[in-house]
Structure 1
């Protein structure tokens, strides 16, 4: 007989037909010459109770799988998170603002990069633009999406509350333009009352380190900072990771952690951080920088006497040059936009050290409706920023490098591939056949 309920293979729900068959057997055992035909009143009652019992079995299945992080959903997943001290993260508020340049000089362009900080009045709430904006005397205003730096319902503001560009940001990055800008949100911002999805929350719970004295715990603390995409730790002497096989062999009155060193000298390890460009690396105005936030988070997890050297990862801009053959009647502009969005998503999913595969880029082209062929496809990479402190073998270029047809782009351990659909990153010639 098939086992139902909790089994070695998980929870097995008893089907309604089995429940109904068991009900018939019990009725025959109690009553003699019982009528269980389709028109029988007793059969109708047994069918109704079997359907209700079936729902109870489904509920039992939900309760069983609600006990495990890998299968729990909704409120059950929240309760498991509370047990380990990791609540579900709030969502940032989003909206759209209109940026206008006042008194522009004819023939001059004013570029506001992604991540431009716009703020409300008192109390100050800061938002970052999610795309670059280019203005001039003929295009004096543009609408751009913004996202609150601080998640939560406080970021939901009414229309007209966002008042301008943060003065500290303007003084540091826009003062040389000699122009003034006005900013307003013509509609209310929203989304701050939401929370992260079950899939995202479950991933954080499953990756939760259970020991505060390991490299995994330090990486987890850094990844908990909003805007951090990936983290790599360099700890060659095992100073952070006390799970090393030789950790319990030390004489603690003579040696500290895992490396022979002079008494009183601190131990440093590197934390390479890849972050969302919308968020500033250093604190600007009311927006705390990724560097300061990661440093504070790591300080809470690192062992005493061991200090983190927080370093910004090398964000490598990726470009593509190719010829695309499309069907007659296809909209070439729309196809290029779709290809750009696909590449932004696919390359954006990579992590530190993740190579950009030629086959992955080809798929972004050929899987678009209307594309017949892609020819002469070359991957490009821009040089890493000069002066970064990194470790390991990192391929550095002085000029933009173009790979041969069929060749992947290899990233170093501290490099993160990025792709922006605008500008010259997508150099594609469209041929209609």
Structure 2
């Protein structure tokens, strides 16, 4: 068997193989009668030396896979990103904020949604943070602590008591029917945690980078530099951006080629669909006293303006984020906890579907593997994929007609996505129906 760098990748030589080869060489040198048992001094010495060699082989394996974006991690991935011109995004401050309900009505639950923007009102530089989970408040439990994450990268200190207000637009959107109940915000301690961009998110952005120098790809690359943007697609059917397309110079109208028809300075409009995941809102939210939160749309437009050709105007639109859910019956082996298995299934589907890009179909086989490969699952029956209506704030029309309710595909049928549609596993557990049957 070949070890090291092979056509199939790097094949690791394990400790057992190294020890067996070492013992064979020792017997060849000292004779077959030499004592190499585990309790002998020479046997112990060989085990220690072979253990060092095994660690060296592991190190060589790590160095080999550090050369590739799909397998590199940490500092190695940073180097690959720097080579591609896409450095890892700076870390963001994170910490705990306490939300306190005042004057709540008995029996009513007040919900502060995930992604609610909180501000450091009254500070010299207003900073914006977003909640990372929904918060439910009642008159009996009026205070809850939630983790928040800064919308903008940076390691500037956040002292205690700095986060003390809700963005006016979010207050009007989410708290309009709260009065006479009130909501106060405060962080008891300073924010000391700095959350860096994780390897999976950074790797996905590097893989999505174009590997050519054409202008269309430059526009896409500019969009990918914006935090929370995971993919983008430029729609340029007439070639106004990319004049390298094959039909330029191929048409002759009265002695003038088609590529000469568009003169520098003549306006031309293209479109870029942007898919994003994160806490930053899509549209900019103006606020008093510098409390404006710049949305993903405007950040992408600013980056695209730096690379677009003269006379070409790129319209930034939000991609259609399509919630995907499932309906299935899973058969569990004896001794496994049903809710725990379902939680692992949801986590796996969130990760697998989260790796899809614009226009990628949700394959039935991929979802089936995600469910069937979970420990304790003996069988999966009547698995259906569901295409759900758009979530709040994300309405769009893709290649599939817009629907008010959930559309359920037949058993074995995949869900087709349009070129500007991004599949997202639905976080609402009520959209999926997973029944558990125990043998």
Give me the TM-score of the superposition, normalised by structure 1. Answer: 0.72
Partner of 1:266: 267
Equivalent pair of 1:379/1:408 in contact (CA under 8 Å): yes
Q: SS in structure 2 opposite 1:142? A: strand
Cα distance in 1 between the residues matched to 2:307 and 2:236: 15
Q: SS in structure 2 opposite 1:323? A: strand
Per-residue Cα deviation, 1:111-169 (whole angstroms, up to 9, x for no partner) = 32221101224132211122223333344333333221111212x52444322322332
Partner of 2:328: 322
**Structure 1 position 307, deviation (Å):** 0.5
Partner of 1:185: 187
Q: SS in structure 2 opposite 1:106? A: coil
Partner of 1:145: 147
Per-residue Cα deviation, 1:4-53 (whole angstroms, up to 9, x for no partner) = xxxxxxxxxxxxxxxxxxxxxxxxxxxxxxxxxxxxxxxxxxxxxxxxxx
Pairing partner for 1:126 from 125, 128, 136: 128
Pairing partner for 1:311 from 286, 308, 317: 317
Cα distance in 1 between the residues matched to 2:228 and 2:93: 14
Pairing partner for 2:430 from 424, 427, 432: 424
**Structure 1 position 402, deviation (Å):** 0.8
Partner of 1:110: 110
Equivalent pair of 1:229/1:276 in contact (CA under 8 Å): yes
Q: SS in structure 2 opposite 1:192? A: strand
Distance 1:91 1:257, change over 3 A: farther
**Structure 1 position 93, deviation (Å):** 2.4
Equivalent pair of 1:98/1:143 in contact (CA under 8 Å): yes
Could you list the runs of 5+ residues in structure 2 that have no partner in the other structure?
Answer: 1-55
Equivalent pair of 2:249/2:258 in contact (CA under 8 Å): no
Distance 1:360 1:236, change over 3 A: same
Cα distance in 1 between the residues matched to 2:429 and 2:76: 46
Equivalenced residues, count: 372
Partner of 1:360: 366
Cα distance in 1 between the residues matched to 2:184 and 2:257: 57
Partner of 1:411: 417
The answer as to 2:389 corresponding to 1:383 is yes
In terms of Rg, which structure is larger?
1
Partner of 1:214: 215
Equivalent pair of 2:69/2:80 in contact (CA under 8 Å): yes
**Structure 1 position 322, deviation (Å):** 1.6
**Structure 1 position 191, deviation (Å):** 4.4
Cα distance in 1 between the residues matched to 2:83 and 2:328: 52
Per-residue Cα deviation, 1:202-246 (whole angstroms, up to 9, x for no partner) = 9639936674x6100001111111111211111000111122235
Equivalent pair of 1:348/1:417 in contact (CA under 8 Å): yes
The Cα RMSD (Å) is 4.0
Partner of 2:89: 89
Could you list the runs of 5+ residues in structure 1 that have no partner in the other structure?
Answer: 1-54
Per-residue Cα deviation, 1:179-210 (whole angstroms, up to 9, x for no partner) = 42222334543443756659937963993667
Cα distance in 1 between the residues matched to 2:202 and 2:258: 35
Distance 1:193 1:408, change over 3 A: closer
Equivalent pair of 2:264/2:311 in contact (CA under 8 Å): no
Equivalent pair of 2:110/2:136 in contact (CA under 8 Å): yes
Equivalent pair of 2:275/2:358 in contact (CA under 8 Å): yes
Q: SS in structure 1 opposite 2:111? A: strand
Equivalent pair of 2:250/2:257 in contact (CA under 8 Å): no
Equivalent pair of 1:325/1:371 in contact (CA under 8 Å): yes
Equivalent pair of 1:89/1:196 in contact (CA under 8 Å): no
Cα distance in 2 between the residues matched to 1:404 and 1:362: 13
Q: SS in structure 2 opposite 1:176? A: coil
Cα distance in 2 between the residues matched to 1:80 and 1:387: 34
Partner of 2:48: none
Equivalent pair of 2:264/2:310 in contact (CA under 8 Å): no
Equivalent pair of 2:249/2:257 in contact (CA under 8 Å): no
Equivalent pair of 1:151/1:192 in contact (CA under 8 Å): no
Cα distance in 1 between the residues matched to 2:353 and 2:83: 35
Equivalent pair of 2:89/2:196 in contact (CA under 8 Å): no
Q: SS in structure 1 opposite 2:327? A: strand
Partner of 1:343: 349
Equivalent pair of 1:127/1:149 in contact (CA under 8 Å): yes
